[in-house]
Each structure stands twice: as structure tokens, then as C-alpha cells.
Structure 1
Amino acid sequence: MTGWTADEMPRLDGKTVVVTGANSGLGFEATRAFAAKGATVVMACRSVERGTDAAVEIRADTRGDADGTLEVRECDLASLESVATFAEGVADDYDAVDVLCNNAGVMAIPRCETDDGFETQLGVNHLGHFALTCRLFPLLAAGNGVGRGAEESGSPAADLSGSGDARVVTQSSGAHERGEMDFTDLNWEESYEKWGAYGRSKLANLLFAYELQRRIDAAADDVGVRSVACHPGYAATNLQLRTAKESGTPLATAVMRLANAAFGQDAATGALPLLYAATADVDGGAYVEPGGVLNMRGSPTVGRSNDASYDLDDARRLWEYSAEATGVDLSL
């Protein structure tokens, strides 16, 4: 949709949105936009301290114009125990979740492992979000998404065109195109290439998002949830700078700063595909991306990811592995 901005999001009064990685970058900007529309945003952050600082900054920047509520909770996607504790806490305190934004991630880091022994990029970017989605799914099935309930609450809504299903929005990357699923060595124990591992984790995000929608479609009853994927294009955030810092080379940081300045769009613009996927009337299984040059910048539009991301066999195998590895699955 050419020219779409966050101003066109509907009112979200009475809605609950969970955003992972909400304290910085794309997650921070998405949180700010959701709150400005009246949503209660549960900020799922690895560091509660940084999450709290981010919430304070959002409130200060909006000068009270953000109508929503910001709640910071610890959620370390590198720990399945932390994910379970977070999900249990949300279930204790909320009757429903209307939008889950699987946004947090790490990029092109030296090989290390999560608390549960997974290669960190696969573990954080995919497996942590897989487990979180499965654990929160009953709350999502109880939610109404963004297109219902405005009439009852008396809140004006910009879009009531049938987009009532709750949403699972999974953030991928254009780097999924260099990803390959090697099920004999998913965790890179035999060899490791940091950008290849990042690409695989982002391809896994898409395989998961589309397989989730297929399972929703195949369910006997109307589940009331849509699974949508997106990517931000080239958004200049701290993610690139952390990647450069991890390399241990000062030159890498300088080059990344230059690339961000020359080619990147700001984080607020980079967050638009996620916001569009979460609040506009898009079909389940859609892929939202920037509509500009090389899909690296510009307003959000519905596009298509690479052929590998629609591979049915890889999606099934990844789901089965993920369910076994995390000990969590869905029964629809």
C-alpha cells in the first residue's frame, strides 16, 4: 500500500500487544506506535533495566500523547525456561493477546550457544519465538485482533474491514535468501559461518510463519488467528553496530556506521512493515516488505519471499524438530 504510515493504524484501545525486543530498534519504534494508538504493550525484554529505560523514554518523547499502557517483563529468548516463565506470567494476568510480534533477534555473531545448547542465532531468532508462540497461542485464540471491539468500546477505528483475527507477526529479513536448511547440522556443530547461520535463522522464521498459517487453515474450527511474516528492509539500528562490535575489528564498526548512514532508513520507517502486518487487513500467510528499490526501503507492501521459504517438506521437518527441541507444540 503506497505511502502507508503508522498514522493509518486503527485505534487499539482495549487491545493487548506483546513485542519481543521492545527496548531498542524496530521493537522500540513498534512499541511507541502501538502505545500511541492506545494499546497495552507488554514489552518482552531480555534486560528489564533496559526495557524500563525504553518505556520511560517513550513516555517522555510522547509527552503524554501515548494513550496506551507499557508493561516491561523479562523474556530471554535464549532460555526456554525464561520463555515459559514469561508466557505463564502473561497468562496469569491477561485473558487474551491480540497481537504477538516476534521481533527480537541477533545477527551474524560468533558461534555460541543458548542456555539449552542451541546455536544462538537459530535458538533466539527461531526456537525461542516458536516456543513463545506455542505457549501464548491459547491467549491469541482468545483475542480479537485489531478489527473488532471498537464499536463496543466506543473507540474510533481507522480500519474495521474484517481484520479481526488476532495476529502472530514474525520478523524475518532479506537475508533469508542466503539461508539453507541443513537438517543434518541445523545447529552448525560441524562448521559455522555467521552470515549463513543468520540467513538460516531468518529462513526458519518464514518457514515457521507460513507453516503456522497452514496449520491454522487446516484446523477443524475457526481458530481466529492469522500468521503474517514481514521484513524491515535496511533499517539502521543498533543490530548492525552490535554485529560489527562482535567482530572485534574497529574498521568493521566504522564501515557499518557508514553503510547505515548511506543506505539505511531510520528505525521508525523500518518498523512500518511489522506495524502494517499487525494492524492492516492482510491475509494469513502474507509477507509484508518495503515497496521501494530492491525492497530495502520505502512504504510497506505485500510481496513474496524466496521459493525456499515455501518448501512444504522443509517447513514440516522444521516444525517437528522445533517441537521436539523446545518441548512445546500446538494442537489445533
Structure 2
Amino acid sequence: MISAPLADGVIDVHAHWLPAELFSLPPGAPYGPMRDRDGALYLGDIPLSIPTRAMSDVAAILGDMRTAGVGVRVVSAPPFAFPVGGVPGAGSYVTAFNEALSAVVAGADGRLVGLGMVSLDEPAEARAQMERLAGTEGMAGIAIPPLHYGRSLDQGFLRDVLTDAEALGLAVLVHPMQLSRPEWSEHYLSNLIGNPVETATAVAALLLGGVKEQLPRLRICFVHGGGCAPGLLGRWTHGWHARGDVRRHSSRPPDEGFGELFFDTVTHDPGLLRLLTTHASKDGIVCGSDYPFDMAQSDPVRFATDHGPSAAVLTSNARAFLGL
């Protein structure tokens, strides 16, 4: 919940933080622990091309906000910290992260807001974690992956998480996991192609699965401008009208439901951001940065306001997403 006033200025809804003591990542994490090597951050043996302090040091986050003209930053765990391994003990990691994040937010004078994590294998545990987040000052919601055990937001555990989030009034940020596939093993394609495809899959599952119709009060945001979704929305809508199997779980075409979702501005392409704004509601575009990763929008506020809504609209939309 957020009852204390936030700082003035544009709200960046998509940024990451993880304390150094949790660099070990949850049990069963597929990528290995994070490590500091002479001030540079590694995921296992993979260089992340960012300074370690950019991920873990709150002073570095606040300094970047001043440089970028960001008034408030909404921080969540990096996606490789999501507890997707299905190994016992992940609940303790989730609790440690949520408690550490709430402490950081509490000491930031309204400049930081938190999105916590939930266990992704134990329904009762996840519900209890979400109930605690809903009652914790400065924590506005949760961040989740778009896919889990071969299912997306319309089925299984993630679908249940969305139901609980709506009931508890928690915002939901959907962040891709950068899942690997053999054909994406080179050229960073697991990120450059994989991330947008994961997100588009989740948007399609939400709309075609009728999830937003069933959960009308759900506040859900998709990062990276919705990935491939803006460019595929017309195809999905045509398929909905043309095929009974496409529309069997939803009562309205996807282009109607698209306007009820939130999307951030991390598109790296002014034309794509303009396309997104033609499909999404004017109330659904929020500023994002993807700080501190190498794929971050380097000047997030300027990019968003030059090619999308005004600063005032972006801020108003973000406040709505956060439930203010």
C-alpha cells in the first residue's frame, strides 16, 4: 500500500534492484548466482555489462534518477531472481527480498516504490506473501514472469496469482525471463528476440484467455512496450473474428481489451512507441527505464515525452497503475 506522499516528478515504473546479500539467487535459479568481479556484475560467468553498485546500491539508483530527471522510481527484482526453479526454500528467499525492499523504500523519502516477489510453486505461501505486501507501506504490488512451466497468464499458477492480486488491490508488472532456445544462442537473441516474444505471449494469453474480462479491476503492466504485441494486435484480432478456437475463451476481440492494459515506454524506437500509443489507451502508457541493464532506455523521460504522452500524463497514468 502507498499512503505516504510520493516525490514530485515523472514516475519510472520499470527498474531493478537486488541487495548484494541476495546475489546468490533463489534455490534452483537457472542462471547461477550473481557475482561481483572488480566492480562489474556477472550472472554466473556471463558479464551483465553494468557496475555492481548500479544493481545493489540505493545511492547509485537515486543518483541515476537525478541525472535522468526521474522523480519516483518503482523498483523490482531482476527477472533472474524470480523463484522459478521449483526447489524448496524459495519462500525464504522471497521473504528476505520483500523485507529488504520494503526497508529501502521506507528510507527513500517517497522517491522509491516497491514491487515485491511471490513464490511461484506454493499457492498458500504466495497468497500469504501477497497479503503481507498489501499491508506494507511503500509496496504497491508484485513483479512476475510471463511464463511458468509452459503456461502463461491464462492458466495455472500465474492465473491464480492474478486473481489474488486483483482481490488484494496489488499492481502487477510482467517482466520476461530471457528464456534460452538453441536458435537464440548467438547475438544476444535470447534478449533481443526472446524478451519481446515472451511478453507478447503473455499479452495474447491475457486477452484471448478472457482474463481481463474476468478480472476487470486488475492493474497489470507489460514492459518493453508490450514486446511484439503492438505489431501483432491486428493479426490477433483478425484471428479472433475468423476462428472459433481463437475466441472460445473471450467475449470481445483483443483490440478492445488492449486499451485496458498498461505498457511502459522502453521501445528503443520512436515509431514503435507511436504505434503503441495508437493501440493502447491514452491512460495506459507509463514511463519505464529498465535501469540498470544494458538494454535500458538511456534517457527515459525525454524519450517518453518526445515520442509519447506528456510528463503530466505519464505521471498520472503511473499513479493509476500503482493504485493511487
Q: TM-score, normalised by structure 1?
A: 0.34
